[in-house]
Amino acid sequence: MAAISSEAAQRRATTETERLAADSFLRAKIPARQDGEIWLFRNPNRHGDAFVGTLNRWLPHRLGLQLNVGQRRLTFGFRAANVQDCREPRFLDTTWMSLSYWDWRGRTRPVPGTPGRMNGFEEVVAEPPELQHLNRPVIRLTVDR
C-alpha cells in the first residue's frame, strides 16, 4: 500500500460522513454537569479572551479547582455573546459536597495557599456553549504543587 503524499491528501475531497461528523462535533456542547449547566468565570478586565492576564501557574488555584498534583483539566474560552442564559450563581446551583467551595459573592473561591493578591474571579452559571464558539485553543491546566 503506497502512502498518500501530502499534496494528494490536501486535494482529497471531504466525504459527507466526515463533514457530518465534524459538524456534529462542533455543535457538541461543552461537557457539563448532569443538570446541563456550566460554571464560567469572567476575565477581571472584561477582555474578550478570558485568559488574558490570568494564565499563569496560579490560575487553577484562583479558580478554586480541587486538583491533585499532576492532575489535568481542560479549559475553554468563549466570547460572552456566545454564552446563553447567563445568571449569577446561587447556592442552589452547587452540590452539597461542593457547597464549602461556593462563595456567596458570586466569585470563585481560591484554594488555601493561594497568594492573597490572587483573588477569585466573578462567576456565571449558563447553558453550555457549543465547541464551535471557542475563541482560543483549549488550555490544559495542571497543578504542580
Where in the chain are the domains?
31-142
CB burial string 24-56: b at 16+ within 10 A, e below: eeeeeebeeeeeebbbbbbbeeeeeebbeebee
For the chain, the C-alpha Rg in angstroms (whole number) is 19
E strands, the chain, are 38-41, 72-75, 123-126, 139-142
The per-residue pLDDT for range 15-52, each reduced to its tens digit, is 888 777 777 766 766 655 555 667 788 888 888 778 88
* This prediction's pTM: 0.65
Distance CA 75, CA 30 (A): 10
Report yes or no: 89 and 123 within 8 Å, Cβ to Cβ. yes
